[in-house]
Structure 1
């Protein structure tokens, strides 16, 4: 017969961590063995996957996390955190405000791109060529939305983070760290878009697409692509919220007071 303590332990049983008086284990690894020995990216991998990454896997994951940390106050998550920081709610709440802005339209494209690339890889595994697999999958996705996640950018003609990230993936493929199928899928989409838009503004891969390639090549499930992006962007959110707290503003709005109209127009006015 189990007692209340045993029942509570079973209720909260988890493979992620185990805590007892004088003992903290993360995935069965004593924390004292990790402190000073494992990097933060190693521990992220350990907690999510239950294993430790190779140095090359860790370096690739770290590159993706570094690339996504910030995109300036044009990003709704950053802007919201900065405004929240002036409302007297505390740094943690300002960060939560920014993180909670990361949804399907802002922050979710990485997850969506992993799903799309996985569809292409699945089609290619059945004998369909990469170009046809990309074309068919793109048509399926665009039957539901005109946007292709991970491609094009409203601000950058060519996302400056694309090339260095994909170069690292290519190196990882060459040395056998990753397989390369998701990279092939992403490049096939990019090539199809280039053919489709001949003579028009190109739609190259963006940060969401490039990091989606990395997360997928490293074997992370699609929802974790969003989670890892949130983890990465939290660094920028923290930095912006902290900077804003030191600038002395109160109740910062989306526009400076000097450019606000004296009176907002009423619905019946034209």
Structure 2
């Protein structure tokens, strides 16, 4: 016998984690239901604000590889919006869209386990971490940005909101020190980027790296659907293909 704690129903009702979909959840907003589904309970006002931040920050970044994948898939199968959406999400990984998961895992594994840390300890741990990864020629996920070389403006606002909500903790402090140590030891500006900030905040919120990635994909689904709908109305898929193939012909 299979069982799930998430949802179910019968001929007269539909339940999500024990809450009536029609008579109760129809009166709650979507973030409440996202928290109920993913975390098993309704969020506090502070948690709700943070979940909203994660979703909004992930909605769209323009013609990214994921958006292009969605558009090109729709070009090949215009009857399959769901396939285009899936194609856009399939590329969420260590380079694009899914970096928060890897940044969070890195921070979780790199910071020695103890209850509290002084600023000096975090600075020392960060420098040791940077030196070790530099020697191994490993890139630190969540650090560095090709455009926001003077600092990712999203990070400052994210940390500001996290502080207001009580979620600016050891991992966020460590992430800031990690970026600073990278800059010091490299002799150039290397800012923390949004995925590094969100990975740290997710851990300070008590979320797993996988849940951080889940929120990113939920948020990005909205942006991908916007690209899909725009592709239906004002297609660029054929032009992208023509540019890649160097020909205007197609079969």
TM-score (norm 2): 0.86
Which residue is 2:156 aligned to? 163
Task: List per-residue Cα deviations over 1:19-72 (Å, max 9, x = no partner).
Answer: 111111111111121112x22122111111111110111101111210111111
Aligned pair count reads 244
Which residue is 1:188 aligned to? 177
Kindly state the Cα deviation for residue 214 of structure 1 after the two structures are TM-superposed. 2.5
Matched, 1:29 2:19: yes
**Two-structure CA RMSD over aligned residues (Å):** 2.6
Residues 117 and 170 of structure 2 are in contact (CA less than 8 Å); yes or no, is this contact kept in structure 1? no
Matched, 1:96 2:86: yes
Give the Cα separation in 1 of the matches to 2:242 and 2:217.
26
Summarize the Cα distance change of 1:141–1:30 in structure 2 as closer, same or farther, 3 Å threshold.
farther
Give the Cα separation in 2 of the matches to 1:254 and 1:142.
39
Summarize the Cα distance change of 1:250–1:154 in structure 2 as closer, same or farther, 3 Å threshold.
closer
Matched, 1:172 2:165: yes
Summarize the Cα distance change of 1:144–1:64 in structure 2 as closer, same or farther, 3 Å threshold.
farther
Summarize the Cα distance change of 1:139–1:228 in structure 2 as closer, same or farther, 3 Å threshold.
farther
Give the Cα separation in 2 of the matches to 1:100 and 1:181.
32
Choose between structure 1 and 2: higher helix proportion.
2
Matched, 1:54 2:44: yes
Summarize the Cα distance change of 1:22–1:122 in structure 2 as closer, same or farther, 3 Å threshold.
farther
SS at match of 2:94: coil
Kindly state the Cα deviation for residue 239 of structure 1 after the two structures are TM-superposed. 0.5
Give the Cα separation in 2 of the matches to 1:121 and 1:250.
44
Of the three residues 104, 109, 125, the one matched with 1:133 is 125
Give the Cα separation in 1 of the matches to 2:109 and 2:65.
30
Q: Give 1 or 2 for the bigger CA radius of gyration.
A: 1
Kindly state the Cα deviation for residue 245 of structure 1 after the two structures are TM-superposed. 0.9
Task: List per-residue Cα deviations over 1:83-109 (Å, max 9, x = no partner).
Answer: 222223421111111111112222232
Where structure 1 has 5 or more consecutive residues not aligned to the other structure, the ranges are: 1-9, 263-270
1:229-240 alignment, distance < 5 Å: 229-240=216-227
Which residue is 1:214 aligned to? 201
Give the Cα separation in 2 of the matches to 1:134 and 1:183.
12
Kindly state the Cα deviation for residue 251 of structure 1 after the two structures are TM-superposed. 3.8
Of the three residues 246, 253, 257, the one matched with 2:240 is 253
Give the Cα separation in 2 of the matches to 1:143 and 1:241.
43
